[in-house]
Each structure stands twice: as structure tokens, then as C-alpha cells.
């Protein structure tokens, strides 16, 4: 058993007083405005003058905006969340330049996440009570589970979801205990099941998901029938948001349990680098696994593998995992999506998804064994691309909420 110190976010619901709700709503608005203005300034500097503006420059711009009469209201909220918004924008640009993300986009009043981040200078943590800057009362937090003993948050993020619920996320030091594991598993994002493991196990969608989705469809139809700007429409919109939130909550719980189990049981985990866009082209698959679910699954796996010292290998999507026989290595000509099982020339009956998961595992193990993972008979070697790479979780990555 090894012990390891990590940063971990603990998220709770809270119920603000009307004053606190007002203060936070103003802060969210200012955060969005500052982010958008800084993004505008950076875009303009680049398109007009081929000039790269960094965090320090946007910080100086912010000081100027606060002094201008028009934007003096920025002084009314805590300055820390505004500075953090500039840091988030800097991170978004860093990801863009490193080709990890698209060009940053403006935050929309309706669609963007309403949130504000406070660092230690902007909150007080005393006797388990959290008080944010510009507020007199501490937040009324529902402690649904305890913080680690003696924990003291270093960053606090307040947010409100589309269903109107308030959340506070506390980033704390925690200790992870890890036992060695010997297993190795390949994972395929399947058609009929959510995921298929190389062990033959098929993981279906979370319980209730089908019923929740049916309810969501009904609520969305109901919303579409409501008159614009009516009170009934607002009510119907909240209902849709609540069902969305319920689906997301259940799915997150489910993926947490699943990824924890996979990481506990296996020293090596191999997944495919799927571009969900390709998958969503297939309507059937779109229902089985949504964009968000797969990304969430991968994010959870990445940081848990990092915590527990496991190998997470990501195999490129060009690699023909479903057409390759995992027993003899023969490559089938075509494999339409409706073919669920097939018999290879070597005589082996292959389940499409299990076969794919086994291939993913074999590819991943070869990456670990020889570093390159390019096999002569495989298609990827002809494209000239390395068919897989070792995933190296970045220290700067945001820490997902538990």
C-alpha cells in the first residue's frame, strides 16, 4: 500500500441568502464581461498588429477598465474572481497554441457556465465555515460528505447550474492510498453497450437513463409548444434543465464508480482516442454514448490513473480495431456497423466489440513493450503516423470535481 498526496476538489450544494445570491450574480456578470473584453483585446491585437498579449497585459488592461467611469462597477465585486478569469483565458490560449483546444470563444449570458473562482486572499475559512469576500455571512453549505481531516481549501469555486442550483467546490490536499494491481484491460466504446472490456464484460448505460431520456424528450416537446416570453415557458425551461441535471448527476456517479473499479483492478488501461464527432455521425451510437459521457470517462480515467500510478495508454483512432482479428491478426476487408459478430478465416467467432477491445489492449501493450507500437501489418504504419502514444497527464490540467 502506497500513500500519495494529491489536490482534490470537493463539491457541495449551498443555499445563498438573497444578498449573497445578488452579490454572486453580479460577480458572475463581471467575470463574464472581463473575460470577454480581454478576449476581444487579445484577438484585436493579434489580427490587427500580429501582437501576442499575455496575462500581465490583460491584467493592466483590467486596472484601466476599473478606473474608467463606464466600468467602475467592476470595483464593486471581489477583484480575485476577475483576475482568475484572466488566468483562465491565459490557460485557454496556452491550450490553443499547443493545439490542444480551439480558439477561445466569448462567454454567453445564457449558455456559459456561471462561475467565479476565489483564491485564499478572497475567502475566510474558519472552524469549517466559509465566508467569501464582500460578504458578511458564511455560506450555508450542505456537507453531504466530510472534507479530509484538517483540510483547508486553497481555491474555492462557486457556480450555479441551468436548473438554478448553487454549488461550491473546495480544492483541498488529500491522501490517496494505492494497492498494487496486476491486470491489463482494453476498452472499446461500443454500439450496443456503453463500453466493452477486453475481458468480455459489457458495460451498459446507467440505470434510469432510458427513462430519464424519455422524460427529457417529453419536457423538451412541452417547452417547444409554450409561447415565447411567457411564465409557462420559463417554468417548462426549468423543468428541462432539472432533467438534464439529473441525467448528468447520475451519469457522473456511475462513471466515477466504473473508473474507480477499472483503476483499482488494472495496472494498465488502454483506450482508443475517439473523436466523438465521427461517432455521432451514426445516429444509433449517438444515443448509446454522448460526447460528454466519453470525454468525462476519459478525464476521470486520466486523473485516477495518475493518482494511483497506473499506465493509461491512448491508441490512435486510425488503428482498425474492429476489422482486425484479435486471434490471428488478419484484417477483414469491410466491417459495416450492423455486423455485430463475424467468423474470421482462422475459424474464430468474434464479437465485434470484444474483439475491438482486445485489439486495443494488444496495441497498448505493444506500445509499452517497444515504445513505438507500430506493427508492420497494421494500417497505421502505412499512414506514417505512430499508431499510439503514451498518455502523460499534465500537471496543469484542471482537477475534476468528485
Site for Zn ion in 339-398 (CB under 5 A): 344, 346, 348
Give min distance, CB of 329 to Zn ion, in A: 7
Looking at beta carbons only, is 224 or 346 nearer to Zn ion? 346
Catalytic residue check, 188: yes
Q: How many residues bind Zn ion (CB under 5 A)?
A: 7
Give min distance, CB of 324 to Zn ion, in A: 9
Give min distance, CB of 189 to Zn ion, in A: 23
Catalytic residue check, 353: yes
The Cα-based distances of 238 to 15, 187, 279 in angstroms read 18, 37, 30
Site for Zn ion in 311-340 (CB under 5 A): 325, 327-328, 330
Q: Choosing from 188, 302, 306, 391, which is the catalytic residue?
A: 188
Looking at beta carbons only, is 112 or 348 nearer to Zn ion? 348
Give min distance, CB of 342 to Zn ion, in A: 10
Looking at beta carbons only, is 175 or 346 nearer to Zn ion? 346
Q: Choosing from 212, 353, 363, 391, which is the catalytic residue?
A: 353
Q: Choosing from 23, 212, 272, 391, which is the catalytic residue?
A: 272
Catalytic residue check, 316: no
Give min distance, CB of 331 to Zn ion, in A: 10
Catalytically active residues are 188, 272, 353
Q: Which residues bind Zn ion (CB under 5 A)?
A: 325, 327-328, 330, 344, 346, 348
Amino acid at each position: 500500500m502506497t500513500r500519495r498526496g494529491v489536490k482534490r476538489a470537493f463539491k457541495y450544494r449551498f443555499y445563498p441568502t438573497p444578498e449573497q445570491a445578488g452579490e454572486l450574480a453580479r460577480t458572475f456578470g463581471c467575470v463574464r464581461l472581463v473575460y470577454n473584453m480581454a478576449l476581444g483585446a487579445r484577438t484585436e491585437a493579434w489580427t490587427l498588429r500580429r501582437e501576442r498579449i499575455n496575462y500581465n497585459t490583460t491584467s493592466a488592461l483590467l486596472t484601466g477598465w476599473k478606473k474608467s467611469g463606464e466600468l467602475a462597477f467592476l470595483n464593486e465585486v471581489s477583484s480575485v474572481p476577475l483576475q482568475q478569469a484572466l488566468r483562465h483565458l491565459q490557460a485557454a490560449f496556452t491550450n490553443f497554441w499547443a493545439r490542444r483546444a480551439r480558439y477561445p470563444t466569448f462567454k454567453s449570458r445564457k449558455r456559459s457556465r456561471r462561475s467565479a473562482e476565489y483564491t485564499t486572499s478572497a475567502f475566510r475559512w474558519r472552524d469549517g465555515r466559509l465566508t467569501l469576500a464582500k460578504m458578511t455571512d458564511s455560506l450555508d453549505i450542505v456537507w453531504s460528505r466530510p472534507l479530509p481531516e484538517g483540510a483547508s481549501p486553497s481555491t474555492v469555486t462557486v457556480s450555479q447550474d441551468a436548473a438554478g442550483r448553487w454549488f461550491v467546490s473546495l480544492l483541498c490536499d488529500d491522501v490517496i492510498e494505492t494497492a498494487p494491481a496486476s491486470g491489463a484491460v482494453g476498452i472499446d466504446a461500443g454500439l450496443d453497450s456503453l463500453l466493452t472490456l477486453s475481458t468480455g464484460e459489457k458495460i451498459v448505460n446507467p440505470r434510469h437513463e432510458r427513462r430519464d431520456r424519455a422524460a427529457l424528450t417529453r419536457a423538451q416537446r412541452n417547452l417547444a409548444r409554450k409561447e415565447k416570453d411567457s411564465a409557462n415557458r420559463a417554468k417548462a425551461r426549468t423543468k428541462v434543465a432539472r432533467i438534464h441535471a439529473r441525467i448528468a448527476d447520475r451519469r457522473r456517479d456511475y462513471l466515477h464508480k466504473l473508473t474507480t473499479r477499472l483503476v483499482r483492478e488494472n495496472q494498465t488501461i488502454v483506450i482508443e482516442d475517439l473523436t466523438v464527432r465521427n461517432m455521432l455521425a451514426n445516429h444509433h451510437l449517438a444515443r448509446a454514448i454522448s460526447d460528454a459521457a466519453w470525454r468525462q470517462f476519459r478525464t476521470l480515467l486520466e486523473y485516477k490513473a495518475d493518482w494511483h500510478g497506473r499506465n493509461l495508454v491512448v491508441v490512435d483512432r486510425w488503428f482498425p480495431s474492429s476489422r482486425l482479428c484479435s486471434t490471428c491478426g488478419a484484417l477483414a476487408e469491410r466491417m459495416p456497423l450492423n455486423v455485430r459478430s463475424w467468423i474470421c478465416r482462422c475459424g474464430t467467432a468474434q464479437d465485434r466489440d470484444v474483439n475491438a477491445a482486445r485489439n486495443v489492449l494488444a496495441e497498448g501493450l505493444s506500445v509499452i513493450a517497444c515504445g513505438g507500437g507500430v506493427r508492420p501489418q497494421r494500417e497505421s504504419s502505412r499512414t506514417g503516423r505512430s499508431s499510439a502514444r503514451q498518455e502523460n497527464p499534465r500537471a496543469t490540467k484542471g482537477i475534476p470535481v468528485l
